Amino acid sequence: MIWSKDYLSRLLSLNLTQINCNQFNNVRVNSKYVEEGDIFITLQGTESDGHDFIDDAISRGARLVLYSKDIDKKFLNPAICIKSDNLKNKLIKLAKDKRSRSKAKFIAITGSAGKTTSKEILHHILSKNFKTFKSPKSFNYGVHIISALASIPDDIEYAIFEFGMNKKGEILKSTEIFQIDIIIINNVFPVHIEFFQSIEEIAEAKSEILQRLDSSKSISIINFDMYKEIFLKHIRKLKLQNIIIIGKDKYSQIELEKYHVISTVNELKVQLIYSVQNTRYSFVRSYIDKSLGENFRSVLGVILALNLDINESIKEFSNFTPQLGRGKILSILNNQGKNLYLYCDYFNSNPIAVQKSLMSLANMPQNDKIAIIGDMLELGKDSKKFHSDIVPFIKNAKIKKLILVGKEVKIIFEQVKDMQEFQTFIFPDVEALMPKLDKLLIPESITLIKASRKIGLEKILKNWNIKDVI
């Protein structure tokens, strides 16, 4: 139970006497995430209206629905639905109330890539010994992150949130009510650059989160490998005192010193060596790509900031499995019963991430390698250049086949179509690819699946009825 009827009634000045349920769980603004006992608030969005999904929310288990439009009451269950106004303000009030009463330490993660994975790793480690909350899915801006804050149980000790943005000022606005104790800035890549003048402007926008810190009490964990001077400018201006530096900088306290792939006949592993305040930690675990290994640096920063056991955290990290779509490798049988390996990294994409994924693919032990590369979106006027920049990495990936999906990748096709080292195929969209896919993949091969989320390459996995596809 996260909210009681009596407390909600007093806090929001609502008459809830007709509502049957006395206790409620999460607060949701998207009906597809509603579960049994949740509260559903029907907000008007730019593309959809929550009022259109009241029935869906109730069918999924909503036990309190707040709506604001005039709807014939004969279509609504009075034991669940109640009309009210200023629903967004009420959502914010719920979130503010939760934050004011919470005794948890609040940890915020931002960066161009790896936010969700870093959140998942940190939650995996902290939840072994502490009551830990994480924002669900990829909720990282707007009303979604506010609804996540409104859903924190009262006994939580650590609360982990990720914050995204695609325009200047968005992070500053999103973090306004969170009172952050520890922040992580993972990296800065040309993601959403369509909405910015330069990558430097993205770094400036990411730096906005530093304004939400208590200069003497809060802790910042920042990757100084990228745009160090921009971050230093804001650190000095805000007089922030507690900084943990990650990366290759000479003042860095945490760095991934070694990433070494260990390939055997039966399995693929990786050796990782981290330096944490001049102490080296070396271990071997099941394969993860280098990007995930780099994400663990910021998690180690949090462990250091909280004065927790680093060796124990490394042990838990060794047991961490990436989510499907975020670097996980699957072994499946194709429609002819032949084994296939799928390197599933399709959840999002940007030029640096694609380059790193292709380098990881080159390290894989399988003789036959295939790359399915879809459009990288929101790259603005330099989209052709960014797509062209990954061509050298494609050439070095030791692939047998390149399968391109989308419109922006046409420039890649033109540059590699005559190469003898690998075959190249191009499809306008994933729907055009699907009927040809089974014949294109090679038994016992490993196939990288990488594109921006909107390209929909997760449909490749759905083709084999794989569960937990995100």
Domain boundaries, the chain: 3-90, 102-318, 328-462
Q: Are 180 and 104 in contact (CB under 8 A)?
A: no
Would the pLDDT of 334 be above 80?
no
3-state secondary structure (DSSP) of residue 172: helix
Helix axes 351-363, 290-305, angle to 10 degrees: 110
Pick the CATH number of 3-90 from 3.30.70.20, 3.10.129.10, 3.40.1390.10, 1.10.600.10: 3.40.1390.10
The band of 265, judged by pLDDT with boundaries at 50, 70 and 90, is low
Q: Quote helix, strand, coil % in the chain, to nearest 5.
A: 35, 20, 40
pLDDT by residue (tens digit) across 111-162?
988 999 999 999 999 999 999 999 998 888 899 999 999 999 999 999 999 9
- What is the Cα 137 distance to its own chain's centre? 7
Give pLDDT tens digits for 37-94. Answer: 999 999 998 889 999 999 999 999 999 999 999 888 777 999 999 999 999 999 999 9
What is the model's pLDDT at position 468? Answer: 61
How much is the pLDDT for 461? 85
pLDDT at 470 over 60: no
Predicted confidence (pLDDT) at residue 248 exceeds the cutoff of 90: yes
157 class by beta-carbon count within 10 Å (0-12 exposed, 13-18 middle, 19+ buried) = middle
Whole-number pLDDT of residue 194:
84
Query: Using an 8 Å Cβ cutoff, are 411 and 382 in contact?
Result: no
Q: Give the mean pLDDT of 271-292.
A: 95
Distance CA 356, CA 189 (A): 12
Q: Around Cβ 468, how many Cβ atoms within 10 Å?
A: 9
Helix intervals (H) in 276-364: 290-305, 310-318, 351-363
CATH number of 102-318: 3.40.1190.10
Mean pLDDT for all residues in the chain: 93
Residues 469 and 449: their CA atoms lie apart, in Å, by 13
Token pair 């939580």 is found at: 156
328-462 fold: Protein-Tyrosine Phosphatase; Chain A (3.90.190)
